[in-house]
Structure 1
Amino acid sequence: MSSQNRPITVDLVMPEIDYSTSRSSGPGGQNVNKVNTKVTLKFDVKQSQLLTEEERAVIVEKLHSKITVEGVLVLVSQEKRSQLENKLNVNAKFNLLMHKAFEKKKLRKATKPSKSAVKERIKSKKQHSEKKKWRQKPE
């Protein structure tokens, strides 16, 4: 969720998304050689008018590995044999990335180890120490 509690989805930023298609790599026979099934989604994060400054900063920080130097988020899908399925797949990837980027991390509560756990740890350390002592040459 963003600062305004609105999820950033493909539907929200659709006017600013650019799709391009090309031929997929890998096996597939004649279908691969003649049909443009690979779909590339490009979204210019830095130039987006639909995002707030805060949202842009969060996206750039969290997804920096998928953003080019020019500030364009690039996602690719070529798993399926049809262009439509790949387009749906790349849209789902975009939605998932945006959801994860704005997800709040849960803070870990600090806990103390139980008395029995502490005793067990000290007991095992003493056993280890004794074992090492027995390895030494007698004086």
Structure 2
Amino acid sequence: MFDKDALLQELTFKAIRSSGAGGQHVNKVASKVELVFDLATTSVFNDELKERLLNKLKNRLTKEGVLMLQCDESRSQHKNKKLVIKRFLELIKNGLVIPKKRIPTKIPRAVIKKRLKSKRNLSDKKANRKKPDID
């Protein structure tokens, strides 16, 4: 579908100091990893695939068509980089999937008859509750 190695070559990574608890160590080490991927200028995808990804990922892209993902789950920068790459590839793979066209099922004739018969029975039951018309 797409060349994974060429796609990984176009990624840009930046290490940032992670927030949260951790004491002195967290203040010295940049363990949070930010992945930046410019979807508008990529050469891995053709125009059709780019358009599909732009539509699927429009809520996650910046105005310039740049996808930014962050990971600070681990205290290790290398683990965070692996996690963010895995998350990115999953996002791209899901964005390229073409959903199947739904074919509506035909309601069987027996089901329609059964529904109308139950409606008629309920109607008769309620009609029998009324006082009789004496004219």
TM-score by length of 2: 0.76
Secondary structure of the structure 2 residue equivalent to 1:91: helix
Aligned partner letter, 1:39: V
Aligned pairs (5 A) from 1:1-139:
6-7=1-2, 9=4, 11-122=5-116, 125=119
* Distance in structure 2 (CA, Å) of the matches to 1:16 and 1:107: 33
In 2, distance between residues paired with 1:45 and 1:33? 33
CA RMSD in angstroms, aligned pairs only: 2.9
Once residues 17 and 37 of structure 1 are traced to their aligned partners in structure 2, the CA distance between those partners, rounded to angstroms, is 18
Which region of structure 1 is more displaced relative to structure 2, 17-26 or 112-121? 112-121
**Distance of 1:126 and 1:113 partners within structure 2:** 19
Structure 1 unpaired stretches of 5+: 1-5
When residues 42 and 120 of structure 1 are mapped into structure 2, their CA distance, relative to the original with a 3 A threshold, is same
Displacement of 1:123 in angstroms is: 5.3
Task: Report 1 or 2 for greater relative contact order, CA contacts < 8 Å, sequence distance ≥ 6.
Answer: 1
* Contact kept? 1:46, 1:56, Cα under 8 Å: yes
Partner letter of residue 67 of structure 1? L
Tell me the TM-score normalised to structure 1 length.
0.75
Question: How many residues align structurally?
Answer: 133
Identical pairs, percent: 37
Query: Which secondary structure does the structure 2 equivalent of 1:65 belong to?
Result: coil
Alpha-carbon distance in 1 for matches of 2:22, 2:127:
66
Contact 1:23 1:37 survives alignment (8 Å): yes
List alignment gaps of at least 5 residues for structure 2.
none
Residues 7, 99 of structure 1: 8 Å contact kept = no
